[in-house]
Structure 1
Amino acid sequence: MNRQEFEQFLYDHIPITEKMGFTVEEFTSTKVKLAAKLEPNTNHKATAFGGSINSLMTVCGWAMVFANIKAVDEEAHIVIQKSNINYKAPIDFDFSAECELYDEAEKERFFQTYQKHNKARLTLKVKCCKENKVFAEYEGQYVVFK
């Protein structure tokens, strides 16, 4: 699935992503980057609403799991189990979130656990940054099951 197809998949299966103006900038098994416009996601201070930032980062991690597990099992279900976010600075511009997963050993453990138990967990880090300044950090634990 390419990034345009995945973006449409999000809109079809998680409709709020379209209403929030989420777009898919990059979608591979090693890097996912999602973006959002500030305008539909502002708060009373004219900065990005914390819930919108959290949503973008949660979906970004979810998309990374999707990009990996669907090659192993197209029918796998993905849910967020727990997450933690640290808001470091206000965001007053269009923003993005990115998640990288380059650790092949970690991926292999994840896939092996899934194959053996029909269930696996993957903890991912997502960041929201601009020009090397981090505005929010997120860590989420995702569960995949048959």
Structure 2
Amino acid sequence: MTVSPPAPLLRLAHHFQSMPPVAALGLHVDGCDGRTLRLSAPLALHVNDKGCAFGGSLASLMTLAGWGLLTLRLEDAGFDAEVYVAESQIRYRAPLYDDLRVEAALVDEAAWPGFVDTLRARGRARIEIAARALCADGTLATESIARFAALRRTPAAE
């Protein structure tokens, strides 16, 4: 039996595919448990001259995972908001010779209520999201911390 992804994940995947640079990544939305978004892409589309994953591809997937996570969480909270990456720091820990698997989660889950309150009151807010890329054996290949900004387009549903 095949289980279809929930509608929010389908919308996110469709949105990613609507952007030509993102579509070229061969990105796949693997799932989201409400706190962690998982994305993947085939290594064959991201190989560098060393035979491992290109650093720019890893940075892109981690940024997209953070953006996607915040977009999904805002939608779930009833917000119509634009999400932007404001700044990020990336550390490359080990070469990745496997398909790219990235996951993103809030740096501090306890910051979410304050973020929502600020967005509701001011129409804009920022929050930090951590992302990481793992090798097939679970070894950490790359990690990032990024600050994302959300700008409310319409009032939140109460």
Same fold, judged at TM 0.5 (above):
yes
Equivalent residue for 2:14? 8
Show structure 1 runs of 5+ residues with no match: none
Equivalent residues in 2 for 1:114-129, closer than 5 Å = 114-129=119-134
5+ long unaligned stretches in structure 2: 1-6, 153-158
Which residue number corresponds to residue 144 of structure 2? Answer: 138
Runs of 4+ in 1 over 2 A off after TM superposition: 1-5, 100-105
1:17 pairs with 2:19: no
* Cross-structure match for 2:41: 36
Counterpart-to-counterpart distance in 2, 1:55 and 1:134: 17
Aligned residues: 144
Q: Output the CA distance in 2 between the equivalents of 1:45 and 1:104.
A: 37
Q: What's 1:113 paired with?
A: 118
Shift of 1:73: 1.6
Q: What is the aligned-residue RMSD (CA, Å)?
A: 1.6
Identical positions, percent: 25
Change (3 A) 1:70 1:41: same
Match of 1:45 in 2: 50
Q: TM-score, normalised by structure 1?
A: 0.91
